[in-house]
Structure 1
């Protein structure tokens, strides 16, 4: 399932959401590509999405959840990638 949290993270003068899958990275990348999200928005286990994309992604099928729920679902699915100082990209995407 594709999940999106509310736009609440400020950066570069905007608010940002996180788009993730609790099923697989393949599902996430397919959804993001179909929605027109640039690959550069992928960050380890989610896409960073500016607030102005939120409504369109929900309309396309992303399920709105709270930020804590999104992280919980990633952890439960074994898809959560913790930040390290060596790489931003999961091994299967390198």
Structure 2
């Protein structure tokens, strides 16, 4: 299932949501591509999507969940990729 959290993450003068799959990266990439989300928006285990795309993505089938539920379901799926500590 494709999940999206509410726009709440400020960066680059915009507010962002996270788009994930709790099933597979293939499902996530297929959905993102069909919705016109550029590949550069992918970050380890999710796509960062600007708030102005939120309603379109929900209409396309992304399920609205809280940020907490999104992370919990991503972890439970085994697809969570944590940031690696910087070396050096």
Relative to the length of structure 1, the TM-score reads 0.90
Counterpart for residue 21 of structure 2: 21
Counterpart for residue 10 of structure 1: 10
Q: Distance in 1 between matches of 2:33 and 2:13?
A: 25
Q: Distance in 1 between matches of 2:76 and 2:23?
A: 10
Unaligned runs of 5+ in 1: 87-94
SS of the residue 2:6 aligns to = coil
Q: Distance in 1 between matches of 2:31 and 2:85?
A: 28
- Deviation above 4 Å: which 4+ runs of structure 1? none
Deviation at residue 63 of structure 1 after TM alignment: 0.1
SS of the residue 1:82 aligns to = coil
Q: Distance in 1 between matches of 2:54 and 2:85?
A: 29
Q: Distance in 2 between matches of 1:12 and 1:41?
A: 13
Deviation at residue 6 of structure 1 after TM alignment: 0.2
Q: Does 1:50 align with 2:50?
A: yes
